[in-house]
Amino acid sequence: MAASTGPVLAAGAITVANELLFAPGHGLAKVNWRVIPAAAGAAIALAGLEKLAPAFAVGLAWLTVFVVLVVPLGNAPTPLANATRALGYGKVA
């Protein structure tokens, strides 16, 4: 397994879990299931890129994880905003 595969699959799992738990009207029927093949495709693409530029591909994979945590994707707030609210640090916009 390529070094960039783990972070990309983790980003996909974080996105799906966030949509599953925190999106309005959450549930299995409301989850955007297109994230799973998109994460798999990104993992395959970065594994190929890793053969040409290993450090760049791994850095891009970790940047993907950072973006998933900070930028609101889909219908749910960001995972960091949900964690902040769950820990009781106030309402985050």
pLDDT per residue as tens digits for the range 34-91: 999 999 999 999 999 999 999 999 999 999 999 999 999 888 889 999 889 888 886 6
Find, among 90, 65, 89, the residue nearest to 79 by Cα: 65
Q: 0.85 cut: is pTM over it?
A: yes
Q: For 40-78, b where at least 16 C-beta lie within 10 A, e where not — what string?
A: eebbeebbebbeeeeeebbebbeebbeebbeeebeebbb
Annotated domain spans of the chain: 5-86
